[in-house]
Amino acid sequence: MNRTLRKVTLLFAMLLGGVLSSSAQSALNALVVLMKNGSKMTFFLSEKPQVLFQGAYLKVAYGVASSTTFALEDVQRFTYETQDEDAINGTSGDFADVHVRDGELVVSQLKQGTMVSILASDGKVMKQFAVPDTGTYRHDLSTLPQGVYLVKAGNITYKITR
């Protein structure tokens, strides 16, 4: 009887160890925003993403001072998933990196022909252009007054200051 109890205990410990190690390997580590057009954007939890709802927009703030804003009408859903942080995911759809450097709007990772609009805070279109080539594109902002602008690149909206 004592020997049977030891075997059962050992078997239980082995099974429990296997379950715990497999659940540790599949721990949720990413916030994923899925768009209605099929594209998705991944934010790893190590960046400490914060999901904020601001009017008609879903904003994900992450890192020290970075954020990405999505129009709620374009978002299918957001979820938490397990993603490989070491994998390089190809960009799909209209994902882009948008920032201002030395008075220029720098847009990268967009496909050729993607429309980019710069809107004033009141919604007025200040500039609009199509990205001429895949890769990085720079656009001079010196003709715009100082202020806060929304940059709509494809289906994703970014907030910038000039």
DSSP string, 104-127: EEEEEEE-TT-EEEEEETTS-EEE
Whole-angstrom Cα distance, residue 1 to residue 34? 56
pTM beyond 0.85, yes or no? no
* Answer CATH for 91-162 from 2.60.40.3080, 1.10.150.240, 3.40.630.40, 2.130.10.10: 2.60.40.3080
* Answer CATH for 27-89 from 2.60.120, 2.30.30, 1.20.58, 3.40.50: 2.30.30
Question: pLDDT tens digits, the chain, 162 residues: what are they?
Answer: 566 666 555 555 555 444 444 444 457 788 888 878 777 777 788 878 899 898 888 888 877 667 788 888 888 888 888 876 654 343 334 456 677 778 888 877 777 788 888 988 888 899 988 887 767 778 888 899 988 888 888 777 788 877
Going from N- to C-terminal start, the domains of the chain cover 27-89, 91-162
